[in-house]
Amino acid sequence: MILLKLIQNELYKIFSLVRSYIGIILFTGIVPLILWGYGMGTSHIEGQIESSVSDMFFIEGSPTNGFTAAYFIMNFFWIHIPFLLALVGGDIFAGEHANGTFRVYATRPISRVSIFTSKVLATMIYTFIFVFYFGLLTLGLGLIWHGGGDMLVFHNGVLILESSDALVRFFIAYFFSFMNMVLVSSIAIFFSTMVRNAVGPVIGTMALIIFILMVSSLPLEVFKGIQPYLFATYFSNWEQAFFDPIPWGDLFRGLGLVASNIVMFLGIALIIFRRKDILS
Amino acid sequence: MSETELTTPQSPSPLTSDEVTPALACYGISKRFKSIQALDDVSISVPRGSIFGFLGPNGAGKSTLIRVFAGLIAADKGHFDILGSSSLKGHRVRNDMSALVDRADFYKNLSAYQNMKILGRITGHDSDEHINRLLDLLGLYERRKDKVKTFSQGMKQRLGLAQSLLPDPKLLVLDEPTTGLDPQGMHEIRDFILKIAAEQNVTIFLSSHLLHEVELICSDIALIFNGKLAAQGSMRDIFREIDNVTIELEVEDSKTTLAFLEKTDLVTQITPLANAISIEIHYNKIPELIRLMSAAKINIFSVSQRNRLENYFLSLMEGK
């Protein structure tokens, strides 16, 4: 019961901050713009698709639709979303330290573990809302704007997904993307427990992600051995939801590594937070 | 002879365990920050119903001890009880305690009411009626919908007090609540503390380095220097220990008075001031001096004892 009240408080605080709406406002503006642009360039895209598959298929109707538009947009934003999430996750502890409000909050008869849990869960709820909104906007608006139909995916040839199957694949892709973004928020929370200003955790989170991303994508033999153990290796694993057959083994192996990283970052953050002396 | 009924004197009713248990008691608390021993084996007992002044110069360890009570930092050694509940039980020790540590800080983008609501929700004291009553008590009801960033420092401090009263605490710990306020703000906060103590039946633990402030409102005190407890007791008992005090005499004829004081052997030091004469005298000799001055037809407008606590404080510091 007390945890629910604490989560309610944390959500109230998150949604009272302007920074929490930056990403939502940004997507509300840019996704329709991309969908409009996508529609304007349809004939060019269609021409490219038709020329690459004309010797295999006869295409009736348009190969571009809401599904392909949503897929196109997802490829675009998976590096931008972490930054927007880090703005909120990085502020969750450090922002309160900077304002001095943590001193007021922590004197109440509640355990540090409860405070920590409520902040983590509220951040994850925000992450879910963010990813859900992104999904709703890209897929929902995409389907309204460009219509449904079968979805063409280019992977080891051409894969045609029926619209009902495509929808399920999108839900799977959004789930794995959400888990990756939970990891991003966990990293931001980890940095947030260590410092007393909100800028540091945002920079720290992005620096770590970019660093791991670079190491995980370097085509050098020396890094090949460690790449499967780096979380950034799996940041684009949502794409596998559109493979045929879906490589569930790879997906869950990636998910396991992402989940273990979430546990590790949050575990260390909890230890830091429980031991932390609040001096300001 | 009429028959006399023998009665035994009625013994006072025994104190209940609640009355005997101190509001706050700490036992051998120590805390070290790297090379600095901030608290060294500090033990204090705060009587229930008192306004307890916790004194010490800046950096003496006052705020560190309060942060230990408030759960903001962990002591290296020792433990404490709040209204009989031990800190060894964890955060539940603070069920009946509330603290305003250092200056009051808020979610500045939220209103006074919203700030109250957020803290009240934690302990289930967030009804509109309760919040509005406290805002009214602290004179903030009319500004309850305004964002806190528009408040003056005095208003923020009052809102901090209102927040600390949200859980209906039996012990209220205040860490230098008048710091940063102008004289009017300081006066207001002092009045509110007295009002809260009287109306809400709350024991107040007040840390301050403003000796005059403590002297005005506290019934009991403890003094801390360099992390070590130097003295504690009721104000009355502590003042009994003071031999020489400084008093200021406001008289009609300063010249005659000065001549009179120089002749008497009651006074150890005389300092003429702009509108008064400051003298140092043994505490027990004050009535005799006033009698002699009256007999010498010196018109006295006021006799005010200044800085009793300051004298005591300084004497302790010199002894350290």
B209, B285: one domain: no
B260, B303: one domain: yes
Helix or strand run (H / E) with residue A142 = helix A141-146
Label residue B2 by pLDDT band (50, 70, 90). very low
Residue B86 lies in a domain: yes
B293, B177: one domain: no
- Compute the CA torsion angle B190, B191, B192, B197 (nearest 10 deg): 90
Residue B105 lies in a domain: yes
B29, B137: one domain: yes
Last residue in a domain, options B192, B219, B239 = B239
Say yes or no: B59 contacts chain A, CB-CB below 8 A: no
- Select the residue from A7, A15, A107 to test the B interface by mutation, using most B Cβ atoms within 10 A: A107
Residue B287 lies in a domain: yes
Which residues of chain A have a pLDDT value below 50?
Answer: none
Give the integer Cα–Cα distance in Å for B277 and B156: 40
For chain A, domain boundaries? 2-275
B98, B247: one domain: no
Query: B203-208 and B51-55 as β-strands: parallel, antiparallel, unpaired?
Result: parallel
Last residue in a domain, options B185, B204, B239 = B239
Residue B102 lies in a domain: yes
In this prediction, residue A278 carries a pLDDT of: 80
* Residues whose CB is less than 8 angstroms from the CB of residue A225 and which lie 6 or more positions away in sequence, other chains included: none
In this prediction, residue A62 carries a pLDDT of: 65
* Partner-chain residue, chosen from B91, B105, B114, that has the shortest CB–CB distance to A109: B91
Residue of A nearest to B70 (CA): A107
Do the beta carbons of residue B67 and residue B101 sit within 8 Å? yes
Say yes or no: B170 contacts chain A, CB-CB below 8 A: no
pLDDT tens digits, one per residue of B250-294 = 999 889 999 999 998 899 889 998 888 999 888 888 999 999 999
CATH number for the domain spanning B162: value is 3.40.50.300
Tokens of B312: 């005591």
Residue with tokens 């840019």: A30
B60, B162: one domain: yes
Domains: count for chain B:
2
In this prediction, residue A53 carries a pLDDT of: 64
Residue B10 pLDDT more than 60?
Answer: no
B194, B314: one domain: no
pLDDT tens digits, one per residue of B163-213 = 999 999 999 999 988 877 788 888 888 888 888 888 878 999 999 888 888
In this prediction, residue A154 carries a pLDDT of: 76
Nearest CA of chain A to the CA of B91: how many Å? Answer: 5
pLDDT tens digits, one per residue of B90-130 = 888 888 999 998 888 899 889 999 999 999 999 899 999 99
Do the beta carbons of residue B116 and residue B131 sit within 8 Å? yes
Say yes or no: A160 contacts chain B, CB-CB below 8 A: no
Residue B61 pLDDT more than 70?
Answer: yes
Residue B303 lies in a domain: yes
Helix or strand run (H / E) with residue A72 = helix A66-77
Predicted ipTM of the assembly:
0.79
Last residue in a domain, options B193, B222, B239 = B239
Where is pLDDT greater, at B153 or A268?
A268
Residue B10 lies in a domain: no
Say yes or no: A113 contacts chain B, CB-CB below 8 A: no
In this prediction, residue B16 carries a pLDDT of: 57
Residue B6 lies in a domain: no
In this prediction, residue B17 carries a pLDDT of: 55
B309, B211: one domain: no
B88, B232: one domain: yes
Structural domain span for residue B250? 243-319
Say yes or no: A104 contacts chain B, CB-CB below 8 A: yes
Helix or strand run (H / E) with residue B308 = helix B308-319
B180, B256: one domain: no
Give the integer Cα–Cα distance in Å for A175 and A237: 11
**Residues of chain B contacting A107 with CB distance shorter than 8 Å:** 70-72, 94, 98-99, 101
Say yes or no: A110 contacts chain B, CB-CB below 8 A: yes
Q: State the count of interchain CB pairs (< 8 A) between A and B.
A: 80
**Does the beta-carbon distance from B73 to A106 stay under 8 Å?**
no
In this prediction, residue B189 carries a pLDDT of: 85
In this prediction, residue B9 carries a pLDDT of: 41
B204, B296: one domain: no
**Does the beta-carbon distance from B118 to A13 stay under 8 Å?**
yes
Residue B12 lies in a domain: no
B268, B177: one domain: no
- Select the residue from B31, B34, B102, B107 to test the A interface by mutation, using most A Cβ atoms within 10 A: B107
Nearest CA of chain B to the CA of A95: how many Å? Answer: 10
Averaged pLDDT score across all residues of chain B: 86
